[in-house]
Structures are given as C-alpha cells and as structure tokens.
Amino acid sequence: MLFLASLGLMSATEFLLASVVFCLIFTTLNSSRKRIPQGLWELPGPVGYPLIGSMLEIGKNPHLSLTQMSKKYGDVMKVRIGTRPVLVLSGLETIKQAMVKQGGDFMGRPDLYSMRHVTDGQSMSFSTDSGEVWAARRKLVQNALKNFASSPSPGSLSSTLLEEHVSQEAERLVTKLQEVMREQQRFDPFRYLVVSVANVVSAMCFGKRHSHDDQQLLGIVNESEQFVEVASSGNLVDFIPLLRLLPGNSMKKFKEFNQRFTHFLQNIVKDHYESFSKDNIRDITDSLIDLSQEKDRNTKIQLPTEKIVNLVNDIFGAGFDTVTTALSWCLTYLVVYPEIQKKIQGEIDETIGSERKPRLSDRPLLPYTEAFIQEVFRHSSFLPFTIPHCTTRDTILNGYFIPKDMCVFVNQWQVNHDKDLWKDPSTFKPERFLSANGKEIDRDECEKVLVFGLGKRRCVGETIARWEVFLFLTTLLQELQITIQDGVKVDMTPRYGLTMKLKRCEHFQVTKRSPTRPAE
C-alpha cells in the first residue's frame, strides 16, 4: 500500500483509510483467537499475508508446497488460506495419532463452499455431518458393499459377485481395446477404463451396464476432472469468497457437473422405485429402497428416506473415479517401465498360465504384481490429501492446542515420500515391498503407504478397490502387451486435485501377446 501511495496511485487519505481497515481486521482476527491453555503450545506455521494468508506460497501444488513447509514447521502446522486457519498434518505417526488414537476428535468434515454442492449437500462423504446420522449411513454403505460385492456369486465360477463383474468387464475391455487398435491404431486409456470401471460399480448399484459408446454415461464419467479439481484440499474458492464471483472459474463447471450427476442417478433410482419388488432385491439401490421403507427397522436412529436412497450417489461417485485413476496410473507406469511389465507378465504366465482367467484367490501367488500396485499407490500418491477433515472439539496433538471446528488437511503425499520412511522415495521400485527372498509381500512396508486414509473416515471401498485394480490389471496383462507409440514421451506430471490425474494421452497401443514359457 505504501508502495502504491508512493507511486501516486493512492491518495494519503485512501492510504490512511486502508491502513485502518487492515488494522481492524487484524485486531478482530486476533481477539477472536482462542486462548491457548497453559502448558500447551501454539501451532507453528508461516505468518502469511493479510487477507490472502499463505495462498501464494501454497500455489498450484499444495501437496508439494505443504510438504516443503512441514520440513520447517513440523508435522503439526498451521497455515492460513485466505483468512481461515488450516491445520496440516504430516508424518505417519502423527497422522495415526490424530486419525486413529484421537479419531473422534478429528473425524468431522469442514463446512466448505464447494462441498455444499455435492448431492445437494446431502453427501455422506462430503457433508458436515459426522454424528449419529453419518455413522448409521456409513454402516448402510458398508453392508450394501458387503452384500453386493463380497458375497458369493451363485451359479458362476467366480468366488464373489465383484469377481464376476470385474472379470466380465475386463474381458470386454480386452476385446474393445483390440477393436479400437484395428480401427484407430492407438487410444487414450482413460476413455475406455472409465466406462469399464463405471460398469462394475453400476452393476452393483443398478444391476445394469453401459456400452463404451453410451453418450449419457460418457458425458458424466469422462468429465470427472471437473469434480476432482474443485473438491480438492486447498481450493481457493472455499477460502476466499470473492473468487466465487470471478467469471469463468471452475466452480460453475463443478456445479453443473454435480447437477448432471445427481440428475443421472435420480432417473435410475426413479426407475427402480417403479419396478421395485420386496421379494426380488436386485442391487444396492433396491436394498436401500427396501431399508428406507422398513418402518420398524431395528436401528437406534430413524433416517429420512432420501438420506438412505441417495447413498447410492456416494457409492457410485467414489467407486468409478478413484479406481479408474488408479488403473490409468498403472498402465502409464507399465509403458514407462516395460521391463516391469515383462516381469508381471512372467509371474502371471508362470502362476496362472493362459488356460484360465485370473481370480482373486491368485493374489497371494502374485507378490510382484501386488508389489507393483502398492508402488503405484505410493509413488503416484494420486490421492495426495484425504477429503478435508475438521476437529469436532478442542483437542491437543503432540502438545499443541487445536481448537474445535478447525479445518484439517491430511498430507498423504508427504507420508509416501518421507525420506525417514522410504529409501530413495522418488525412485519407482516395486521390489521395496517384497521380502528379502523376493517371494512374499512385506506387510510392514505396505502398512506405511497412505492412500485410503486412516481411522473413522477410512475409505469404505478399500477392499473392493484393491480387488478391482488387481483383477483388471492381471486380466489385461495376461492377454495384452501395452506400449506407447514410437517417439512419444509420456508426461508423468500430475494435475492437482482430490484425485490427481495425468494429462490425457491418446498414444497408447496394445497387441495380443503369447505367454512366455516358464523358466526351467
């Protein structure tokens, strides 16, 4: 301001007035700060600028800048974004302490502008509710996933319903990619993976699948970037209200995406209501409708109908984008490291051969493949932060006082690249997850990877997600060689978001492979 005044861009009166406003804002902010109880420390962190806080230092890649800042300020740090203080947690032990041992204190979700638009503010995963209603809804989601994914698949060779759905979709994907190769000689993997993965979750939720050319489904699932960019930790629109007024911001697309997504699912739910029969529960939507109609449900808490039925939005939404992103990263690492692809294929050929399809029960027999998937999760850290949390009461962490309702970012990327936990964290090396003899998975090392969150809000779809990634990957690699067109360099720089994606690349290719002979 002094600079503007000295340039003559601001009169002395305007300068004085602006200074008074700044002082007033600072005094108000200071006086509204909670007193720190004796014996506890105040949270450390950068001071930041008035009104914008540390927005400039945080920049476009908060997972990287906040990791850097945590080296200076520690695992429990406070940064201001706009005028709002945010607690940033790093370090595996600190995060375990907060999310698991003090889980109740850190299980809330903050009231963020963007989150109010997800499922009209009714989302189980994103809304501010973390009390009895949230707990009852989370239980319903867990039961629904158990019944329609993990339960045995009657009349089929598959062990579970999920195995059956994924095996079928993966086979169709193999056929589709070969067809696309014949017609176009190259393809963008995200475009096809997203439909296959959405079909798996659609089979569980709605008992139906869609073709790879279904424009309505494509219009939704192919544009999930519009969701994950805005629903990320540190989106400035959530912290600086003025930015919501700027034309052309991604918030408009986000709102439209949410409306289209809700509308798409509402139509399917409406069809389900019309054909619903209590004696024939076809899928998750039917089972949720059934639960919502049970008057004498033997539960502690009665949930309104819409709070039960719209849980299908949480399941479908969480179920397609995350797994598609995971698989896209897997395919990209496979073309960047062809020798790793060869090793996985060797393991598949030796253990499964080519006469039968991969099954879930093969997982323990394919340790290198498992180690590869785990390394993709760690190295890409494509979910760099969990969904934002907030404190549910005043609490203490590592000797620091943390007030109630404080927004909390959990930096998973930092844990997965922490030099204290990993040797050469920036090197992509699946072997780090194998035992010394290379024949088993090292469970302790796997436990250190943070990608599904921890504690009370830990991902409810983790088992399903791990199954899906394993089965899709092994089915594709059993049958196909995946490469990138000659001369094309893959850009591995992710685009920051709730899930981080790679730039779309239309230069992937596949060829049908003949299995290698097992080593004598």
Enumerate binding residues for ligand HEM (CB under 6 A).
125, 138, 141, 145, 201, 314-315, 318-319, 322-323, 326, 383, 386-387, 451-453, 457-461, 464-465
Query: Between residues 180 and 269, which has the closer beta carbon with respect to ligand HEM?
Result: 269
Name the residue whose CB lies closest to ligand HEM. 461
Query: Between residues 352 and 451, which has the closer beta carbon with respect to ligand HEM?
Result: 451
Number of continuous H segments (helices) and E segments (strands) in the chain: 19, 10
Listed in sequence order, the residues at least 6 apart from 334 whose beta carbon sits closer than 8 Å to its beta carbon are: 340, 341, 344, 477, 482
Listed in sequence order, the residues at least 6 apart from 327 whose beta carbon sits closer than 8 Å to its beta carbon are: 189, 193, 197, 469, 472, 473
We find the least distance from the C-beta atom of residue 403 to ligand HEM, in angstroms, to be: 20
Rounded CA-CA distance 41/33 in Å is 14
We find the least distance from the C-beta atom of residue 29 to ligand HEM, in angstroms, to be: 28
We find the least distance from the C-beta atom of residue 465 to ligand HEM, in angstroms, to be: 3
Query: Between residues 128 and 483, which has the closer beta carbon with respect to ligand HEM?
Result: 128
We find the least distance from the C-beta atom of residue 186 to ligand HEM, in angstroms, to be: 26
Rg value, the chain, Cα: 25
CB 152 within 8 A of CB 160: yes
Query: Between residues 451 and 473, which has the closer beta carbon with respect to ligand HEM?
Result: 451
Query: Between residues 318 and 340, which has the closer beta carbon with respect to ligand HEM?
Result: 318
- Amino acid code (one letter) for 331: L
Query: Between residues 43 and 408, which has the closer beta carbon with respect to ligand HEM?
Result: 408
Query: Between residues 102 and 483, which has the closer beta carbon with respect to ligand HEM?
Result: 102
CB 341 within 8 A of CB 334: yes
Rounded CA-CA distance 151/249 in Å is 44
We find the least distance from the C-beta atom of residue 269 to ligand HEM, in angstroms, to be: 17
We find the least distance from the C-beta atom of residue 412 to ligand HEM, in angstroms, to be: 7
Kind plus residue range of the DSSP H or E element containing 253: helix 250-274
Q: Give the number of other Cβ atoms within 10 Å of residue 271's Cβ.
A: 13
DSSP string, 468-519: HHHHHHHHHHHHEEEEE-TTPPP--PEEPSSS-EEPP---EEEEE--PPPPP
Burial (CB < 10 A; 0-12, 13-18, 19+), residue 11, is exposed
We find the least distance from the C-beta atom of residue 75 to ligand HEM, in angstroms, to be: 17
We find the least distance from the C-beta atom of residue 166 to ligand HEM, in angstroms, to be: 11
We find the least distance from the C-beta atom of residue 469 to ligand HEM, in angstroms, to be: 6
Sign, Cα dihedral of 7, 8, 12, 16: negative
CB 106 within 8 A of CB 389: yes
Query: Between residues 55 and 106, which has the closer beta carbon with respect to ligand HEM?
Result: 106
We find the least distance from the C-beta atom of residue 408 to ligand HEM, in angstroms, to be: 10
We find the least distance from the C-beta atom of residue 458 to ligand HEM, in angstroms, to be: 6
Sign, Cα dihedral of 72, 74, 77, 81: positive
Query: Between residues 62 and 453, which has the closer beta carbon with respect to ligand HEM?
Result: 453
Query: Between residues 48 and 91, which has the closer beta carbon with respect to ligand HEM?
Result: 91
Closest C-alpha to 208, from 270, 284, 280 = 284
Query: Between residues 58 and 89, which has the closer beta carbon with respect to ligand HEM?
Result: 89
DSSP string, 298-328: -SSSPPPHHHHHTHHHHHHHHHHHHHHHHHH
We find the least distance from the C-beta atom of residue 150 to ligand HEM, in angstroms, to be: 12
Q: Tell me how many degrees the CA angle 210-214-216 measures, rounded to the nearest 5.
A: 105
Rounded CA-CA distance 466/322 in Å is 11
Query: Between residues 207 and 515, which has the closer beta carbon with respect to ligand HEM?
Result: 207
Q: Tokens 């196909």 belong to which residue? A: 480
As beta bridge partners, residue 481 has 511
Closest C-alpha to 368, from 466, 443, 434, 449 = 434
